[in-house]
Amino acid sequence: MKTLCILSLITLVGTCATPKYSTKIQNIKDSIILTDSVLVMKYANTITASELKTNLYQFCSDEFEGRKVGEPGQKKAALYLKNYYQSQNIASPFGDNKYFQTVPSNFLGDKFDSSENVLAFIKGTENPDEVVIVSAHLDHLGVSENGQIYAGADDDGSGNVALMEMAQAFKLAKNQGYGPKRSVLFLHLTAEEVGQLGSNYYVSHPAFPLNQTVANLNIDMIGRVDEQQKDNENYMYLIGSDRLSKELHYLSEKVNNTFFNIDLDYRYNAENDPNHYYSRSDHYNFALKGIPVIFYFNGTHADYHQTTDTPDKINFPLLEKRSKLIFATAWQIANQQRRLVTDRHNELLK
Ligand SMILES: [Zn+2]
């Protein structure tokens, strides 16, 4: 009897000292406390299909000539974004109406003229030095050999207009006294289509120190439904969310399960996925620096990288719903009490 008691005690102590992995995960889930449930939906609901549509038709217009890196059309698209942020009184982190970060031609392998990342931000009220980055690439493929324009409505017009609407929602919240605790950077990246060079340049020349960069939510194609999901448009592929921060993954799930109930599909997050999407858009440059990322994606379709990727094929109500989820996820990361942690620094995983 006595022996048994001691053994039980050892077992008990052992269990407490090294909780099972499933217990650690449950502890992480339990530690995530959603902030401002009413407020987040109030401002998420200012993101509308009709505004996304108006902005997307402008962003994909022939005037921007397919937004090929370094070319006049791409520069017009960058200027369009700058003008938008100025019109909304949303500042640049560089100040003085300097919304562009110039990526020099030699960084682009001397194959293209210099180009621009476009940056706008909402300054945090309590921890302004900590930043959540929401990103999308502004460049696309230009004009085809037979003179047709690559509109790039899904790739990645959808991501750019999502950022514009999210920025407007954060700005309205701030004007009404509910600015985010941490800063939120809206980062429109150039030169993604030629090797993710705009994001590569940004992480080499960051506007905020990378160790103060809490997370990167990167959007590349969220306005369409792919062939695999044609019977269920209420979905989105998420890639990378659990790779560096389990907290980010479960935070993202909790926001979705609480407010949106989109089917978050992780099939492309498998380590052995042959498409390797985890390394195929701008978030990867942030992940390589140890910054937790989520890549939001609707999958490819017959119009992917074709001149037929046009705005009339965008599902705007779906783009609205997906944008709202990403907004609410950014809101949570920017506003929660404790800074999001990577697994390496997460005491709950030890
Ligand atoms: Zn893209």
Is residue 9 in a domain?
Answer: no
Is residue 174 in a domain?
Answer: yes
Is residue 10 in a domain?
Answer: no
Structure-derived torsion over alpha carbons of residues 26, 219, 320, 61, reported in degrees to the nearest 10: 180
Distance of CA 128 from the midpoint of ligand 1 (Å): 30
Distance of CA 297 from the midpoint of ligand 1 (Å): 9
Examine the pLDDT at 262 and tell me if it is beyond 80: yes
**Number of domain units in the chain:** 1
Is residue 15 in a domain?
Answer: no
Distance of CA 141 from the midpoint of ligand 1 (Å): 10
Distance of CA 281 from the midpoint of ligand 1 (Å): 7
Distance of CA 153 from the midpoint of ligand 1 (Å): 10
pLDDT tens-digit readout, 238-256: 999 999 999 999 999 999 9
Is residue 211 in a domain?
Answer: yes
Is residue 79 in a domain?
Answer: yes
Distance of CA 304 from the midpoint of ligand 1 (Å): 9
**Residue ranges making up the domain that contains 99:** 23-349
Is residue 239 in a domain?
Answer: yes
The CATH number of residue 278's host domain is 3.40.630.10
Distance of CA 121 from the midpoint of ligand 1 (Å): 22
pLDDT tens-digit readout, 270-325: 999 999 999 999 999 999 999 999 999 999 999 999 999 999 999 999 999 999 99
> What's the predicted TM-score (pTM) here?
0.94
pLDDT at 36: 83
Distance of CA 284 from the midpoint of ligand 1 (Å): 13
Distance of CA 74 from the midpoint of ligand 1 (Å): 14
